[in-house]
Amino acid sequence: MRTLRTVIICALVMATTIAGIGVAPAQNEINSSRLRQAVGVPGILQHLKELQEIADDHGDTRAAGTRGYAESVDYVVARLKKAGYKVTRQNFSFNAFVENSPAEFERVSPQPETYTEDDFLSMEYSGSGNVTATLVATNDILINPSPGGSTGGCEASDFPNATAGSIVLIQRGTCTFREKVDNAAAAGAVGVVIFNEGNDPGRTGVLGGTLSPPDEEADVPAVGTSFAVGEELFNLLQQGEVEVRIAVDAEVITTDSANVIADTKTGYKDRTIVVGAHLDSVPEGPGINDNGSGTAVVLEIAEEMARLKIKPENRVRFAFWGAEESGLIGSNFYVNSLSEQEFEQIALNLNFDMLGSPNYARFVYDGDGSATPDAGPDGSGLIEAVFNDFFASQNLATEPTAFDGRSDYRAFILAGIPAGGLFSGAEVAKTEAQEDVYGGVAGLAYDPCYHQACDTLVEKKQSDDVEAVDDAYGKNVVVGNVNRLSLEEMSDAAAHATLYFAETTDDITDAGARRAGARRQAQMDYIGPFAVR
């Protein structure tokens, strides 16, 4: 997840059916209390502890293509098999961006300064090169203060005549990073510096973006910086010439990975419920909240359904996706590899990506598009309603979050399959109104360790912001980089929705037939978990 371009199907009518299910039974007819009581925070934390230990043993990461990810797969497979599931490893390969050495960025003049990882990151799928050149800026750079929405770098006319042979300074804004970098290269630039937007507390820090598509490097080296660094460089340009150096040593390597798929032994196959979470972390850290939390919740639901001997009316397929952080690769591969018969059997997808954010909010995907720009396929509104109704029954407030394509539901909704899920927040700052509802600290990110090394279960590695959130909630609510309250509330809702759709008895055998005519493949032209704009 890092913000991105919206490319999702828009549906204008609120869904009253879900892939042919018809009007679902009233929620009080599905008693999920037994499963919810079984799916507890202690079990979830035990899974997180195992994932943390795997990362500890393998360079503090569980990124796809690493030994840490392979052992994460082994752990999930072993637990699911022990619980009695039919488990499949779905192998695939993808083009991974690999840095051979740390990137370098420095201001040569005036006032020489060597920037650190607190100031910049290389852009994923940056081109390689070691270049020193005069800095030039595109038009439409918005600072003092930034209102956001810069269009700089989105068109060829945005680049000054002096761009050829120069390094270009561009502000984050309305088009994708790849478009900005490709336009700069086409104008003759030898490198690109993209600085954060600065219009929101969540868009001031170091910009770790991705240049889609994932199958090729850009033509020139590119780095992302904090708003402060970009603002400083722009102000220096107003005073005279600025010279900078960028060095990126990286390559794209074909890498093996896998999804883990586990099916219940009972349930109608022609109305399969896919309950998924991504298993991989970013390279920078062990990914305990993103997305160890979603993984642990889905795994705990699967284990407890088996232990309680729940025999669902509909087949439940628990899915643990690989290479989400490299561009939603695993879930795209899964959906695109389905035969027509397999595709027609899928009724819906529930997606759980980040459920334990320290400074959390309770976000439900806006399936009907009533509050955000993009609705899911017909039926997604009902999924949203099931989550909202459950939270309301617990006297817990929720708010909608957009289907902006940042997680593994994307492949499903592009293919016309209804989807929904939960999200506890990432890099955006909590508002004062949200603090009144959920507690925590306004002005700090929902997850202050988002995509960082401190996304751990180790308290001594907490950031200062996470410690502030811990103090606000009360002692021992936040464990490492996860919030117990968030895990408890979100896992209850996840368990309820899983059982709800697993037990729905309305006829949905014609669901696939209605979708098959309009089936579309999820094109791998976008890197979801990292920001592309």
Distance CA 496, CA 305 (A): 11
Q: Is 533 helix (H, G, I), strand (E, B) or coil?
A: coil
The strand pairing partners of 63, in sequence order, are 281
Q: How far apart are CA 132 and CA 244, in angstroms?
A: 6
Q: Which candidate in 179, 324, 384, 489 is catalytic? A: 324
Two tokens, residue 58 = 């393998």
- Cα distance between residue 422 and residue 383, in whole Å: 11
d(CA 111, CA 116): 16
Burial status of residue 88 (CB atoms within 10 A of its CB: 0-12, 13-18, 19 or more): middle
Distance in angstroms (rounded) separating the CA atoms of residues 146 and 194: 15
**Whether residue 324 lies in the annotated active site:** yes
What is the separation, in whole angstroms, between the first and last Cα of the chain?
Answer: 12
No. of helices (H) and no. of strands (E), the chain: 14, 16
3-state secondary structure of 291: helix
Q: 3-class DSSP state for residue 300?
A: helix
Element (H, E) at 54: helix 41-57
The DSSP result for 198-264, as a single string, is -SSGGGSS---BB-S-TTS--SS-EEEE-HHHHHHHHHHHTTS--EEEEEEEEEEEEEEEEEEEEE-
Cα–Cα distances in Å, from 278 out to 72, 322, 529? 11, 6, 11
Catalytic residues: 324
